[in-house]
Amino acid sequence: MTAMALVRTNPAQTLAQKLIARASGRDSVSVGEIVTCRVDMAMFHDSSGPRRLKPMLEELGAQIWDRSRVVLVMDHYVPERDDDSRRIVRIARDWARDQQLPHVYDSQGICHVVVPQHGHIRPGMLCVGGDSHSPTGGAFGAYMFGIGSTEMLGVMVTGEIWLRVPETIRMWWDGALPAGLTAKDMMLHMIGRFGMNGGRYQAVEFCGPGVVALSMQERMTLSNMSAELGAQAGLIAPDATTAAFLADAGVPEVDMSLWFTDTDADFTRHVFDAATLEPQVAAPHSPANAHGVSQCLGTHVDVAYIGACTGAKLDDLRAAAQVLRGHKVASGVRLIVAPASLRDQEQAREEGVLQALIDAGAELFPTACGACSGYGDPMGDGITVISTTARNFKGRMGSATAQVYLGSPYTVAAAALRGRVTDPREVLA
């Protein structure tokens, strides 16, 4: 092969541009262009999906463009606790049956965890989700973002969506996280630095040795919370870790060699050091109120909540158990554990992780969105909560007078153990 044959003919592209170009049938795209993309997979749940889409489709007299590309997850209003939740879930179940949808996950866990665990997201895809944390799919080298019900209606009928090609911000992490820290700490640090509009609806790409060292579930936390940065998508280039996860999910081998950012592509770059990062805590009432745990030490805690798609996956449960194994939570503290999926819950049970948490005093809650979306057992008036959820907006988890702090599973478990906000590294030591 001659040297001339090795010359790239297309302009340098970021990972985001390559994914969008593929979906739009182009060799390349430019930042700012508006393009129409084919959708590879559309996901929605009981709250965002059938109860809104069904009447609109019926009014149009329209059909779903491709049922095999639709995934429905019942995770927000399960288990049903009142007439309203029973009505919402019944609509979803009846519609799924009537439409003969092949990919329905009922009470199996949170959509952002269940969908990739069943192999629905793969490198190179362009996907949409009826939930703001749909950027989770970007951890697999797919372009995935959240859309509203009207946009989802368009996708359901046409299988296409338009978007503006975004600029890319690369969050480069050197080093590796020390013991007692997780991807949640990395994410809270970035949100604390840049704010909740720091991504300005751009594509954020997480990269560098500190990201490569993360497990797949930890990478999912980064991509998930790119929504808190204001980004449209949160991307991570696929590698051997991605391939191993997909193989375990039963996905046939996927060519991942195309999905990376060209070194000479145009992007903004920010550099961080994972090795020097302090555990992070976000004070009420915003993830952007994030600081090192040292600024919140000693804050009294009434409830410690280990749940949600950013804080109750198997890796998260393992982290919490590492802190709590052989101990009891502090007197007067309520520890709630709501695993992110049935699959993760059963694996945690097999490993003894779940028993360690229960022995420490944890209450086991259903594998659903639960208190993260203010459902099930909402937080009461005037209490202080420390949670592994993605958001701590006023009233999101229940009462508007509840004070909700955010932290990693290590930090939340350490607070449950001591009854106050604690540096988890002290406990682990």
DSSP string, 221-270: HHHHGGGGGT-SEEE----HHHHHHHHHTTPPP---TT-S--TTS--EEE
Do residues 184 and 388 make contact, with C-beta atoms less than 8 angstroms apart? yes
Average predicted confidence (pLDDT) for the chain: 95
Ramachandran assignment for 237, one of left (phi > 0), alpha (psi -120 to 50 degrees), beta (any other): beta
The answer on pLDDT for 359 being more than 80 is yes
Q: What pLDDT does 393 receive?
A: 85
Do residues 371 and 307 make contact, with C-beta atoms less than 8 angstroms apart? yes
Do residues 330 and 413 make contact, with C-beta atoms less than 8 angstroms apart? no
Kindly indicate the confidence band of residue 198, based on its pLDDT and cuts at 50, 70 and 90: confident
Kindly indicate the confidence band of residue 377, based on its pLDDT and cuts at 50, 70 and 90: confident
Alpha carbon 183 to its chain's center: 11
What is the rounded CA–CA span in Å between residue 361 and residue 383? Answer: 19
Handedness of CA 80, 83, 85, 89 (dihedral sign): positive
In the predicted model, what is the mean pLDDT of residues 165-194? Answer: 98
Alpha carbon 274 to its chain's center: 20
Q: What pLDDT does 283 receive?
A: 97
> Which tokens sit at 348?
């945690």
For residue 404, what are the β-bridge partners? 385
Q: Are the folds of 34-164 and 281-428 the same? A: yes
Q: What pLDDT does 226 receive?
A: 97
The answer on pLDDT for 379 being more than 90 is no
Q: What is the pTM of this model?
A: 0.96
| Strand ranges (E), 156-198 | 160-164, 168-174
Q: What pLDDT does 5 receive?
A: 40
Worst-scoring range by mean pLDDT, 30-39, 110-119, 202-211, 397-406?
397-406
What is the rounded CA–CA span in Å between residue 65 and residue 120? Answer: 17
Contacts of 420 (CB under 8 A, 6+ apart): 297, 298, 299, 300, 301, 330
pLDDT digits (tens, 9 = 90+) for 311-338: 999 999 999 999 999 999 999 999 999 9
Do residues 408 and 427 make contact, with C-beta atoms less than 8 angstroms apart? no
Query: DSSP assignment, residue 408?
Result: -
Q: What pLDDT does 373 receive?
A: 84
For residue 36, what are the β-bridge partners? 162
The answer on pLDDT for 7 being more than 70 is no
Q: What pLDDT does 285 receive?
A: 93
The Cβ of residue 11 has, within 10 Å, a number of other Cβ atoms equal to 14
Q: What pLDDT does 4 receive?
A: 36
Worst-scoring range by mean pLDDT, 115-119, 195-199, 270-274?
195-199
Instruction: Return the percentage of the chain with pLDDT > 70, whole number.
Output: 98
Q: What pLDDT does 8 receive?
A: 57
Q: What pLDDT does 2 receive?
A: 38
The answer on pLDDT for 46 being more than 60 is yes
Choose among 270, 118, 120: nearest CA to 191. 270
The Cβ of residue 280 has, within 10 Å, a number of other Cβ atoms equal to 27
pLDDT digits (tens, 9 = 90+) for 385-401: 999 999 998 888 888 99
Instruction: Return the percentage of the chain with pLDDT > 90, whole number.
Output: 90
Do residues 275 and 262 make contact, with C-beta atoms less than 8 angstroms apart? no
Residue 25, classified by CB atoms within 10 Å of its CB into exposed (0-12), middle (13-18) or buried (19+), is: exposed
> Which tokens sit at 211?
């990201």
Instruction: List the chain domain ranges.
Output: 34-164, 167-276, 281-428
For domain 167-276, the CATH architecture is 3-Layer(aba) Sandwich (3.40)
Q: What pLDDT does 327 receive?
A: 97
The Cβ of residue 148 has, within 10 Å, a number of other Cβ atoms equal to 11
**Superfamily of segment(s) 34-164:** Aconitase, domain 3 (3.30.499.10)
> Which tokens sit at 421?
């906000």
In the predicted model, what is the mean pLDDT of residues 364-384? Answer: 88
In the predicted model, what is the mean pLDDT of residues 142-154? Answer: 97
Q: What angle do CA 259, 314, 417 make, to 5 degrees?
A: 130
What is the rounded CA–CA span in Å between residue 196 and residue 274? Answer: 21
C-alpha distances in Å from residue 424, one per residue of 171, 312, 342, 416, 420: 25, 17, 27, 11, 11
CATH code for the part of the protein at 281-428:
3.30.499.10
